[in-house]
Amino acid sequence: MKPKWTIDSLPDSDMTVMMRLPDASEFPVWPGFHDGESWCSASAEEVEGPVLGWMTLEDAAKALDWIEPDLPDVPAEKKGRKQ
């Protein structure tokens, strides 16, 4: 299933997510979190303007597979794991 942006709820305050921003021409998505009162970037700066939606980092990574489905898997040794 294709990952979708969440628009009708907020993430847990301790959860880093990918935010969809309306006016970010270079980077329309950005990592961040909602602290219970406002949206903040991953560097804890308050986000100016609305956040159009958010998705978990796991779903954001899955979304890349919809864009570039033929990318090769990263070998286990490059992931820092032993097989």
55 within domain boundaries? yes
Residue-level pLDDT at 83: 44
- The per-residue pLDDT for range 11-52, each reduced to its tens digit, is 999 899 999 998 766 778 899 999 999 999 999 999 988 999
The residue among 80 and 9 whose pLDDT is bigger is 9
What's the rounded Cα separation, in Å, for the pair 35 and 44? Answer: 9
Residue-level pLDDT at 81: 47
Number of structural domains (the chain) is 1
- Structural domain boundaries enclosing 58: 17-68
What's the rounded Cα separation, in Å, for the pair 79 and 40? Answer: 29
Q: Find, among 16, 23, 11, 15, the residue nearest to 52 by Cα.
A: 23
The residue among 81 and 7 whose pLDDT is bigger is 7
Could you give the percent of the chain with pLDDT greater than 90?
A: 51
Residues 6+ apart with CB under 8 A from 59: 3, 4, 18
The model carries a pTM of 0.72
64 within domain boundaries? yes
What's the rounded Cα separation, in Å, for the pair 65 and 62? Answer: 5
